Structure 1
Amino acid sequence: MTSLEEVVVTGEPAMRNRTDDVVPTLSYDLDYFQRFEPLTAGDALKRVPSVTFLSDVLESDGVRIRGLDSAYTQILINGERVPGANLDRSFFVDRIPAELIERLEVVRSSSANRSGDAVAGAINIVLRDAMSLDGGYVRLGALHWDDSEYGQWGGTYGAVWGGQVGPGRLLIGGNIQDRRNPKQKKSWRYDEPGAELNDTEIQSDVRDGTDYSANLSYEVPVAGGDLQLSGVFVRTDRVQDENSLEYNEGIEDADNLAKVNANPLDILTDNWSVNGRYEREMLGGETTFKLGYATIDDEQFEQEEELDVEDQVIEGARTRTNVKDEEIQAAIEHKIELSGGMELEFGVQYSKKDRDTSVFEAEAEVEDEPVFRALLDSEYEDFEPVDGGLNTIEETRIDPYIMLSGENGPAKWEAGLRYETTDFSITDETADADARTNDKDYGILLPSASVRWALSDSDRITASVARTVRRPNFDYLSPALLGGEYGDNDFIGNPDLEPETAWGADLGFERRLGRRGVFGVNVFYRDITDLIELTNTGEYSETALEDYEDAIDDGATPEEAAEELVSYVLTAENIGDGQVWGVEFDLSTPLDFIGMEHTGVFLNYSWLDSSVDDAFGERRFNSQSDYVFNVGFTQDIPSWGAAFGATYRKQGDAEGRIIGEEVVTQYGGDLEIFIEKQVASNVVLRFTGSNLLDSSKDETFNKFNTIQDQIDRDFDEYEIETETAGPWFQLVARMAF
């Protein structure tokens, strides 16, 4: 149970936990991050090994363990899967306020008693429960962003209390925090690399909103067992406001202004879940019953209006998007102690997903408009569903498992089998009538085994092997035809896609340093089969067929018109294999072994690599950074009741290639600092500064209209874009009671 002194100020450096888990797991209590006052789970995860993001500056949303796409990472909350609004099934961790967290766990390999959707690994966000706090605290703070003459201000407010209520223990908490991510972007566009500049675009991008969250947990003995009830609610209310000016030949004055664009996006996202868990001794062992419900409801309204100054035309588009994803989960699990110190665990886990998506769009075009203005409602057409934008998905999983574990001398081990069955159905009302509904079912056997071997009291080795799975993106399964989705190429989903599977291995060494320090090194390898990539169906796109007909109408012969048949209908298929590998180092220790017991340092570095073949040859997995590096320190001054520290983060370049586009992404370094002072026995003030190096995100885009153009390097456009943001600061007071 966390003491109130630890909630307010730790008084000594906070280090990574050295867990007792057999499966290689890195565990970080909240006090490891808290001094830097992260706003979200994503902000906290920036400091752990092998975690990268492909987000905008100041954003930490889609976790990419080992640099792989977010869909390869399993996000768990209290050990259970949670639905996300994204098409690749991923969950944005910036939806979870850091104030709800008790600890974060990076689980590098799989066990039979957990979902196998974790090719790269899993992030388990463990929330505070009724047993984690005795007493309460209040958090009040001010935030400042440097994006105007006098800056912008916001607030953060929270309170948590835990204690005895009736026969059980209760924890209840709430949090409100302002979020603002102001960024500036600039783009330079050319016909091809080395050509003369065509135009520049200057853009402001401000994401402004408020997060609301509440959590409750109650634990009580019932009928000889223990009952735990919990609930979490998180609301994200945000406006993303993008405005841009485009100038001919990069001459940025009124005479060369070419386009004016306004693109506000309103987002309202509600995540909530309720869970019940009951444990009791029965049937010669311990039985656990679980029942839970989780949902995400994501509503977005986007409006984009653009003035073409030369043609004096304003074009507008409004898009209404709603995604509601609900999951019911249940499980029965039983553990039995066997002879020889072994334990047998078996059970069955059930989940039922219902996902409804609706995307409607209305367009407008007004001529003879020499200046930019907001279009009227009457100037828009009626809302109509977009292609692929009106679908329902049902997915039922029944996953039995069995696992045996034990301890023999210096070795602690576990081995198990999990069989995941999936019954999937997708219906898209915008697809052809004879192909709107598609069903698929499959089963996958997922073995796993791990061992931890103690070489001494300080040194140990961990080894794991496991088979894991990645299910296809929802948009890759939709039978709707999407025009011009990749350059001039159309796209149609493939409901017959098989899931990707992977065999993976991890081998690690860990050494205890002094009383609380830890050093670790881990090597990993993943061999992924049935890899899903874009392929060419060989059918011509709607654009190609229209261009062909136009050429015939203009008097061309069929042979001459055939030169217009250069773009196709693409689809997604299981095309082959891919490999991922790397080495991960991490160090977290106080310097008490050299007499500096109040100084703590942490450092982690991950070298990442991979290989996959696509239509154009060999490449890495898309957007996998080649490294990620973190270093930091904390210094306590007990005689002053004060502390300070800093952390620096840098991730390597990431390259991505799909049909129609190739992109290289580079990030600048990120520096954060904190200073804290205990002003009373139960009150601490903490000042933090983030993004102190004005970090940038720099991208280079190679764009092509057709597959052959991409092979021949015949560019449609070559673009360089840079995005920057200034520092932001917090002043937070925490008071325990």
Structure 2
Amino acid sequence: MKKTALLALCAIAPLALCAIAPLALAAQAAAADLADAPIATAAEEPVTASEVVVQAGIAYRNRTEETAPVLEYGLDYFQRFEPLSAGDALKRVPSVAFLSDVLESDGVRLRGLDPAYTQILINGEKVPGAGSGSGAFGAGADGSFFVDRIPAELIERIEIVRSASANRSGDAVAGAINIVLRDAYALDGGFVRAGAMMFDDKRIRETVGGVWGGQVGPGRLLVGANLQGRRNPKLKTSLRYDEPNGTLDNSEVQTDTRNGTDYSFNASYQVPVAGGDLSLAGFFVRTDRTQDEDSIEYAKDIRTNANIQTINNNDVQIDQDSWSLTGKYKRDMLGGRTSVKLGYAGFKGKEDEFEDEIEYLRDAIPFPDGDRITRDKSRREIDDTEVSAKLEHERDLSFGAELEFGLQYEKKERDTYFTEVPRNRYNLPSANPPAFGAYAPIAGGDSTFEQTRLDPYVMLSGKSGALKWEAGLRYETTDVSIEDRTAGESYDTDYKILLPSASVRYNLTASDQFYAATARTVRRPSFEYLSPATLEAELGDNDFIGVPTLKPETAWGLDVGYERRLGRAGVAGVNLFYRKVNDLLELYNTGAEGSEGDGTFVYSARNAGDGKVWGIEFDLSTPLTVIGLENTGVFLNYSWLDSDIDDEFGSRKFNSQSDYVLNVGFIQDLPTWGASFGVTYRKQGEAYSRVVGEEVTTTYGGDLEMFVEKRIGKDITIRLTGSNLLDASKKESFNKFTTIEDQVDRSFDEYELEREQAGPVFQLIARMAF
């Protein structure tokens, strides 16, 4: 365990011990009383709008009765800190790390692993998506989904699925996160929400929305809409040396402001039909965002006009739409319970980018007289669609077990159209600068990707006294077709994988339970990994070329854990996990020179051998009732994460896996005043990445959030929250080399230190039920 992880663990140990010791003793003494107490689970009956708006108490983690290990958190667990998106909410759950920019929470790194290892589900279904950042790999093209596109107001609960089951898709090596949206049985009545956010640059953005649920005809309807202003102003500084502790060559000072608006709408209707239940649901999210990066590069970090080397202006306009429609019909038939589910989901994204860079100091005349200007324009368009169907049947068996089997179908299609105009470069002054040419597809930019899956499964489950168990087999078949229209070439590949899984859960007492789960999971190569087209300047200034013959990555996993109920609301748990990964998929540097010339490379993907991942996860959420503080809730989760893989230079962790993730906080309710307040603190450990030619170490500062709430009567809540109160920063160090030999000998091409920082954000939000 690294020194930083040890220090963090030492810091939280007193709180953990103080909370657990008396609670455990009290729970032991009250075991008889708790034997008949209901276990906290998500509400099965609609709650009134007033209950949603005015929280009568503090919410804690739900304890589920699923056999497989699942952590469940209702929206009320997160809501008092007013998360903007599902990504912001996920910052408070165990083992979730991010390598996003400061104030961004997009690609989930469950257990610290790359986002492609985590399966993101919405209402139990996979969704297409290409992320929120420009650049294919920065945009989730590896199959990951950026959770900052789902507004928190749509969420009913979040489930962390630690180990796979046969009735779920197996592409969840690190685990799965299921974001369950409000359905027609979630709410009775309605409420409106309005507020404003103030950012560090004193700009104010708006937020407004509403939800209503109730009886409509023979069924129940829920509708909701939300408008969310988004803004993220950051400052970034880079210092570039010839080597560590060497000569400072230059510096770059950058402002990076991301400004936009998210629009969302969701609806659900549930109605009895012909002896069964019909559920229809859909959601739509639109993102309109501008990224404005402006930077100045100075020689020797002497920040005067006479030492300006370059001035750069880089703008990206992002327009994205995501939607999903599902229909499910379930009824008793054929000797059991049968369900049919159809789904259609889509994603459309368009990014227009331009970059202007003016060079100075190419002659003896400094700023403001420029020497040369370089202008680039590009456009990216992605159109994803996904059609899915499920036929599932459950039936009771004579010996007390239950049989479940089914067939799941999925067809995913992606059209990509990446275009640019020829680079426009000319010397200054110029009386007649050349005009931009027409947009044309880049190499590999006009292409289609089609993936078809047909996955049968069978699962047995049962219960005998204090023991619950399940075991199943899933057989996943995948057919992939790629067409590169710019080169007039097509490629096809297919693979079939058998995925066994099993879980047991044993109730030692009314308060204590033990569980164990094992499963085989898979990670498929992404479209970009498979396409053999050379994408120029795709990874920074480096090119990328895919490999059609890549094999899928598979892993055997084990999760073993223990949970204890603490009183009637609290719960504490510890989980140990292990993954053995085969045919690891990783980017690597081919060593060939890139299209941008000296110092750039061509990267590719490969099956890089085997690896191992392991860790310990602890979580606690409980009121301090046993010491007379029934209106005080404490929250703590800590995950220690580690892994091992060999590359050209020896052993290392999986790239960019954080050493640890820590969350700790409390909420104090003041019932007589109709008020409450709370604080939460988050910190994640150092992350290290190594490929041929570059090594990156990333660290984050701590993130402190606070809220103060006032409840007015039974229908109104006003809440003031502050986030990023410690001005959190992201620091990265880059070791850059020209050849493998230079990297082994530590002969540096460049050493760069980069720091990104953002200031606090304040929100004032009011909700009113009706």
Scaled by the length of structure 1, what TM-score is found? 0.93
- Whole-Å Cα distance in 2 between the matches of residues 119 and 542 of structure 1? 33
Shift of 1:717: 1.5
1:366-389, Cα deviation, whole Å (9 max, x unpaired): 434369x9x98x621222222232
Extract unaligned runs of 5+ from structure 1. 548-565
SS of equivalent residue, structure 2 residue 153: helix
Q: 1:342 aligns with which of 390, 394, 401?
A: 401
The match for 1:400 among 444, 451, 456 is 456
1:31 match: secondary structure: helix
| Worse-superposed segment, 398-407 or 706-715 | 706-715
Q: Pick from 206, 209, 212: which aligns with 2:260?
A: 209
Which position in structure 1 is the counterpart of 2:99?
54
Q: Contact between 1:316 and 1:363, CA under 8 Å: does it hold in 2? A: no
Single out whichever of 417-426 and 308-317 deviates more from structure 2: 308-317
Counterpart of 1:33 in 2: which secondary structure? Answer: helix
Match of 1:712 in 2: 745
| 1:446 corresponding residue in structure 2 | 499
Q: State how 1:655-734 maps to structure 2 within 5 Å.
A: 655-734=688-767
The letter for the 1-side match of 2:442 is: V
Distance 2:663 2:142 in 1: 28
Match of 1:140 among 189, 194, 203: 194
- AA of the residue aligned to 1:444: I
In the alignment of these two chains, the number of paired residues is: 708
CA distance in 2, matches of 1:726, 1:568: 36
Q: 1:543 to 1:209 in 2, by over 3 A?
A: closer
Q: Which amino acid aligns with 1:362?
A: V
1:567/1:706 contact within 8 Å kept: no
What residue number does 2:248 align with? Answer: 197
Instruction: Report the counterpart of residue 568 of structure 2 in structure 1.
Output: 515
Cα separation, 2, equivalents of 1:60 and 1:541:
34
User: Where in structure 2 are the equivalents of 1:191-340 lying within 5 Å?
Assistant: 191-311=242-362, 312-340=371-399
Letter in structure 1 aligned against 2:530: L
Aligned to 1:563: none
In the superposition, relative to structure 1, how do residues 489 and 43 fare at CA in structure 2: closer, same or farther (>3 Å)? closer
User: What is the deviation of 1:713?
Assistant: 2.4
Post-superposition Cα deviations, 1:111-165, rounded to whole Å, max 9, x if no partner, equal 0000001000000000000000000000011111011xxx101111010000000
Instruction: Say yes or no: does 1:352 pair with 2:434.
Output: no
Matched, 1:423 2:423: no
Matched, 1:23 2:82: no
What whole-Å deviation, never above 9, does each CA across 1:672-715 have from its counterpart, x for those lacking one?
Answer: 00000012321110000000000000000112233333233232
Map of 1:552 onto structure 2? none
* Stretch of structure 1 that moved more, 484-493 or 110-119: 484-493
Distance 2:224 2:585 in 1: 43
Matching residue of 1:551? none
Shift of the alpha carbon at 1:617? Answer: 1.6
1:543 to 1:681, Cα distance in 2 relative to 1, 3 A: closer
Assess, with a 3 A threshold, how the Cα gap between structure 1 residues 379 and 707 changes in structure 2: closer, same or farther. Answer: farther
Whether 2:181 is the aligned partner of 1:124: answer: no
How do residues 607-626 of structure 1 correspond to structure 2 at under 5 angstroms? Answer: 607-626=640-659
Matched residue, 2:228? 177
How far apart in 2 are the matches of 1:641 and 1:535?
A: 57
Aligned to 1:105: 159
Give the stretch that moved more between structures: 527-536 or 510-519.
527-536
Tell me how far apart the structure 1 counterparts of residues 93 and 566 of structure 2 sit (CA, whole Å).
19
Q: 1:584-634 CA distances to partner (integer Å, 9 max, x unpaired)?
A: 000000111111111101000000000011122211000000000000100
Aligned position for 1:456: 509
CA contact (8 A) 1:336 1:344 kept: yes
Q: CA deviation at 1:363?
A: 3.6
Residue 129 (structure 2) pairs with residue 73 (structure 1): no
String of CA shifts for 1:269-290, please: whole Å, max 9, x gaps. Answer: 1000100000011000010000
Tell me how far apart the structure 2 counterparts of residues 668 and 637 of structure 1 sit (CA, whole Å). Answer: 31
| Residue-by-residue CA offset, 1:420-465 (whole Å, 9 max, x unaligned) | 000101112344x5xx211011110000000100000000001000
The alignment partner of 2:50 has SS state of helix
Question: CA 1:711–1:387 in structure 2 vs 1: closer, same or farther (change >3 Å)?
Answer: farther
Report the Cα distance in structure 1 between the residues aligned to 2:559 and 2:626, rounded to whole angstroms: 30
> What residue identity is the alignment partner of 1:412?
K
The answer to whether the Cα contact below 8 Å between 1:489 and 1:705 also exists between their aligned partners in 2 is: no
Distance 1:666 1:567 in 2: 25
Among residues 71, 83, 94, which one is paired with 2:148 in the alignment?
Answer: 94
Structure 2 distance, partners of 1:667, 1:60, is 13
- Give, in whole Å, the separation in 2 of the partners of 1:689 and 1:484: 39
Assess if the C-alpha contact under 8 Å between 1:488 and 1:706 holds in 2.
Answer: no
SS in 2 for 1:134: strand
Match in the other structure for 1:562: none
CA distance in structure 2 between the aligned counterparts of 1:485 and 1:3, rounded to whole angstroms = 50
Alignment of 1:362-511 (within 5 A): 362-369=421-428, 379-431=435-487, 433=488, 436-482=489-535, 491-511=544-564
8 Å contact 1:50–1:65 — kept in the other structure?
yes
- Are 2:588 and 2:691, in contact at CA under 8 Å, matched by a contact in 1? no
Partner Cα separation in structure 1 for residue 573 and residue 721 of structure 2: 29
Say whether the 8 Å CA contact 2:199–2:762 is kept in structure 1: yes
Tell which deviates more after alignment, 711-720 or 353-362.
Answer: 711-720
Separation in 2 of the partners of 1:700 and 1:350?
45
Q: Is the 8 A contact 1:604 1:631 kept in 2?
A: yes
Percent same amino acid at aligned positions?
A: 63
Greater shift in the superposed pair: 573-582 or 128-137: 573-582
Q: Aligned to 2:680, what secondary structure does the other structure show?
A: strand
Say whether the 8 Å CA contact 2:54–2:714 is kept in structure 1. Answer: no
Residues 541-561 of structure 1: per-residue CA shift (max 9 Å, x gap):
5779x99xxxxxxxxxxxxxx
C-alpha distance in 2 between matches for 1:69 and 1:116: 16
Q: What is the distance in 2 between the residues matched to 1:330 and 1:262?
A: 47
Amino acid corresponding to residue 458 of structure 1 in structure 2:
S
1:639 alignment partner, SS class: helix
Partners of 2:233 and 2:348 in 1: CA distance? 25
Deviation at 1:576, TM superposition (A): 1.1
- Residue in 2 aligned with 1:361? 420
Give the superposition deviation at 1:536: 7.0
Task: Give how far 1:490 is off.
Answer: 5.7
Q: Distance in 2 between matches of 1:352 and 1:515?
A: 45
Residues in 2 aligned to 1:570 and 1:671: alpha-carbon distance in whole angstroms:
38
Alpha carbons of 1:250 and 1:712: their partners in 2 closer, same or farther (altered >3 Å)? same
Alignment check: 8 A CA contact 1:488 1:705 kept: no
Q: Deviations over 1:42-76 (max 9, x none)?
A: 00000000000000000000000000000000000
User: Is the CA contact (8 Å cut-off) linking 2:663 and 2:682 kept in structure 1?
Assistant: yes
| 8 Å contact from structure 2 (residues 589, 692) kept in 1 | no
Amino acid at match of 1:380: F
**2 CA distance for matches of 1:280 and 1:128?**
22
1:364 CA displacement: 3.9
Q: CA deviation at 1:569?
A: 5.9
The Cα shift of 1:87 comes to 1.4
SS at match of 2:57: coil
Cα distance change of structure 1 residues 354 and 704 upon mapping to structure 2, 3 Å threshold? same
